[in-house]
Amino acid sequence: MSQPIEILSDRAALTQKAVEIVLAAYSHAIAANGRFTFVAAGGNTPRLLYEELANQPLDWSKIHIFWGDERYVPASDPQSNLGMTRPALLDRVAIPPENIHPMPTEAGDPKLDAQNYENHLRKFFGLGDQPLTFPQFDLVLLGLGDDGHTASLFPHTAALAVSDRLITVGQKDGQPRLTFTASLINQAQKIVFLVEGKAKSEAVAKILASTGDVQTYPARLIQGNVIWLLDQAASQHLQTIG
């Protein structure tokens, strides 16, 4: 699967490259549409990027932040992706509260909250209820698990087959998560994988190989305008991909 790859020397260089790409996408979106719709990734990898973005001279009144997935826990839970993004970024910039679009996790029903978020996205983009219509986000940031998952699209789960929705319910070890579908991610103007560390290197190689199984490596579902940003450690098996 040939997708552009940039290999950076270390975490600092990886983060700096990601900042550059986000800034370029921001400038393009503001010039074209007067706003920038950014989809944040969860986990630990993007934390430094978020901290760096907080230091950038951006007009946060024109930026809308969404999440590509969320653990089905309250925002106060240490597992929360929103909870991670607040101290790293949201609490440090002048972003209007109405520009922050967290995935809802309070209805006590992941399917209902998935529908709630889908409804929210459709309203935000003025899509109405037309089936099989997908909004185009300006930039979707993705991480990668060492098992080949991205967002909350985990191996051998039902979420991988959902192609007619924007948002569905993912499962990790029985824990429900809300997630963008691959169909929604793939509509994005720009998709950036931000991956670091040796632990991810085998998954990276399997995902970028010319052939492979999407059930085992769900990140292979992600197509479109993708770029992979890797540190040296995460790229170490790339020379052996088939």
* Contacting positions for ligand 6PG (CB under 6 A): 41-45, 69, 81, 143-145, 149-151
Q: How far is the CB of 131 from ligand 6PG (least distance, A)?
A: 27
Instruction: Output 59 or 106, the one with its CB closest to ligand 6PG.
Output: 106
Determine the Cα–Cα distance for residues 189 and 25; give it in Å rounded to an integer. Answer: 9
Q: How far is the CB of 94 from ligand 6PG (least distance, A)?
A: 26
Using the minimum distance from each CB to ligand 6PG, give the nearer residue, 69 or 113. 69
Q: Which amino acid is at 76?
A: S
Q: How far is the CB of 143 from ligand 6PG (least distance, A)?
A: 2
Q: How far is the CB of 27 from ligand 6PG (least distance, A)?
A: 25
- Secondary structure (3-state) at 174: coil
Residues 183-193, buried b or exposed e (16+ Cβ, 10 A)? bbbbbbbbbbb
Q: How many C-beta atoms surround the C-beta of residue 30 within 10 A?
A: 16
Hey, how many other C-beta atoms are within 10 angstroms of the C-beta on 64?
20
Residue closer to ligand 6PG by CB (options 95, 153) is 153
Reference 225, options 195, 197, 194, 187; nearest CA is 187
Residue number with CB closer to ligand 6PG (33 or 113) = 113
